[in-house]
């Protein structure tokens, strides 16, 4: 009597195997998901793919077949289980139960199994549970991140109005009262302004993340020179206080989201004004080359500290000894630029300063 291969035996016993699996997991893996399990599971197709992998092994014994389809099924299974409300432990146990069912089937039917067949079957199950768990965790983390951003945005928005009122009152107090020292009032106004900037930047960061997920930008024609000149005027109070000259050279036109482009340029110039030495200069160079529009901001900060320049675009990372900000500005610049499929980079000018450059495609309709 010719020995049947494991692939043939599993193909013949598929319905009994699946019935056994469903009975074992029903009400034990996730009681609340027991009904959903009949609708969304991809286990039957996975068994078919396992049979196909075993047959491939028979045809080419020297090759250890891998199945992109089996991996895809496992990823889908993890995603389905997450959205159906299953726990991560339940996803892992499902594959454990399937392994038990397969081994019991081999034992009860006294199927003669080659060691290579058994090894392949167990490797496929191990890969499946790893892929399903990975996808489950990935989607769970994405949901947690979105919920956290939404909650953070709500809190920041609720803080913005009372903080704005407090800052306005501080300005009025600064103009009218003589009972407090100028230093005390100035410190109050400065700290309230810092908190306002933190909240505004945090809200803007949340909005950029939402734009990234929706893949939609509010596109209009933009002159980078006009934006830079407007931002220079906006920051004139800070630059004049430190006697910093801001020179803008060049022109470039592009299509992009005006709010994001303005935010990117504002944070680049504000960063330069913050760190440039008193009496120094900031050079803003704007260029258009083929399909790319770029803006370079060169400051006189004295050079970057040791470390990787790209780390400056990470939230809450700051350079130098000035800790009056929160390290969000350059991170927001990076998000705004990348929302247009652009790039941003920093380069060091040791002993003098540094250059930050943002490059945008001239035409940009959607975020990628």
Q: What pLDDT is attached to residue 53?
A: 86
102 — pLDDT class (breaks 50, 70, 90) = very high
Q: What pLDDT is attached to residue 206?
A: 64
pLDDT in tens, 40-67: 567 888 888 888 888 887 665 544 445 6
The mean of the pLDDT values for the chain is: 79
Position with higher pLDDT, 123 vs 148: 123
Topology, domain 220-361 = Heat Shock Protein 90 (3.30.565)
Residue 100 has pLDDT above 60, yes or no: yes
Query: Which of 47, 38, 56, 40 is closest to 15 using CA atoms?
Result: 47
Rounded to 5°, angle at Cα 169 from 163 and 173? 140
Q: What pLDDT is attached to residue 310?
A: 64
**6-144 to CATH, choices 1.10.3470, 1.10.20, 2.60.120, 1.10.490:** 1.10.490
Contact 211, 217 (CB under 8 A): yes
Q: 220-361: same fold as 6-144?
A: no
In the 8-state DSSP scheme, what is residue 302? Answer: S
Find tokens 């043939």 and name the residue. 8
Domain boundaries, the chain: 6-144, 155-214, 220-361
Q: What are phi and psi of 345, to 5 degrees?
A: -150, 160
Distances (CA, A) of 41 to 5, 45, 149: 26, 9, 31
Burial of 313 (0-12, 13-18, 19+ CB in 10 A): buried
pLDDT in tens, 322-363: 544 445 678 888 888 988 889 999 988 988 999 999 999 987
Query: Which of 284, 276, 274 is closest to 246 using CA atoms?
Result: 284
Average pLDDT in the 135-140 region? Answer: 90
Find tokens 């000035």 and name the residue. 322
Q: What pLDDT is attached to residue 155?
A: 65
CB atoms within 10 A of CB 112: 11
Q: What pLDDT is attached to residue 365?
A: 47
148 — pLDDT class (breaks 50, 70, 90) = low
Rounded to 5°, angle at Cα 236 from 231 and 240? 150
List the end-to-end C-alpha distance of the chain, in Å, as a whole number: 61
Give the three-class secondary structure for 27: coil
Rounded to 5°, angle at Cα 79 from 75 and 81? 115
Burial of 334 (0-12, 13-18, 19+ CB in 10 A): buried
Among 23-27, 126-130, 234-238, 305-309, the minimum mean pLDDT is found in 305-309
Q: What pLDDT is attached to residue 292?
A: 92
Average pLDDT in the 144-171 region? Answer: 69
Q: What are phi and psi of 295, to 5 degrees?
A: -135, 125
Position with higher pLDDT, 151 vs 320: 151
Among 95-104, 179-188, 286-295, the minimum mean pLDDT is found in 179-188
What pTM did the predictor assign?
A: 0.50
Residue-level length of the chain:
368
Give the three-class secondary structure for 273: helix
Q: What pLDDT is attached to residue 81?
A: 84
């Amino acid at each position: 009597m010719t020995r049947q291969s494991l692939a043939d035996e599993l193909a013949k016993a598929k319905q009994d195997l699946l019935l056994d699996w469903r009975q074992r997991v029903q009400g034990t893996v996730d009681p609340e998901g027991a009904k959903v399990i009949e609708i969304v599971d991809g286990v039957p197709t996975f068994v078919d793919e396992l049979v196909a992998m075993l047959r491939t092994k028979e045809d080419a014994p020297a090759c250890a077949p891998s199945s992109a389809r089996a991996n895809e099924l496992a990823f889908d299974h993890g995603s389905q289980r997450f959205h159906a409300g299953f726990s991560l432990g339940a996803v892992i146990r499902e594959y454990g139960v399937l392994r038990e069912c397969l081994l019991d089937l081999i034992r009860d039917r006294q199927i003669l199994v080659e060691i290579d067949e058994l090894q392949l079957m167990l490797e496929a199950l191990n890969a499946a549970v790893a892929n399903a768990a990975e996808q489950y965790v990935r989607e769970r983390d994405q949901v947690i991140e979105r919920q956290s951003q939404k909650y953070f945005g709500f809190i920041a928005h609720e803080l913005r109005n009372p903080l704005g009122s407090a800052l306005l009152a501080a300005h009025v107090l600064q103009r009218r009262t003589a009972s407090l020292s100028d230093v005390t009032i100035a410190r109050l106004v400065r700290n309230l302004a810092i908190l306002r900037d933190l909240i505004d930047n945090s809200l803007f960061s949340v909005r950029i993340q939402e734009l990234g997920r929706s893949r939609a930008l509010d596109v209009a024609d933009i002159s980078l020179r006009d934006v830079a000149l407007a931002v220079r005027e906006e920051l004139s109070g800070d630059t004049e206080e430190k006697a910093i000259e801001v020179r803008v050279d060049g022109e470039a036109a592009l299509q992009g989201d005006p709010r994001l482009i303005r935010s990117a340029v504002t944070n680049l110039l504000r960063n330069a004004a913050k760190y440039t030495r008193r009496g120094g200069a900031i050079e803003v160079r704007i260029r258009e080359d083929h399909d790319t529009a770029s803006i370079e901001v060169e400051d006189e900060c004295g050079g970057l500290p040791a470390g990787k320049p790209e780390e400056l675009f990470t939230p809450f990372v700051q350079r130098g000894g000035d800790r009056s900000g929160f390290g969000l500005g350059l991170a927001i610049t990076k998000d705004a630029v990348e929302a247009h499929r652009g790039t941003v980079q920093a380069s060091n000018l040791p002993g003098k300063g540094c250059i930050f450059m943002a490059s945008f495609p001239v035409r940009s309709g959607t975020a990628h």
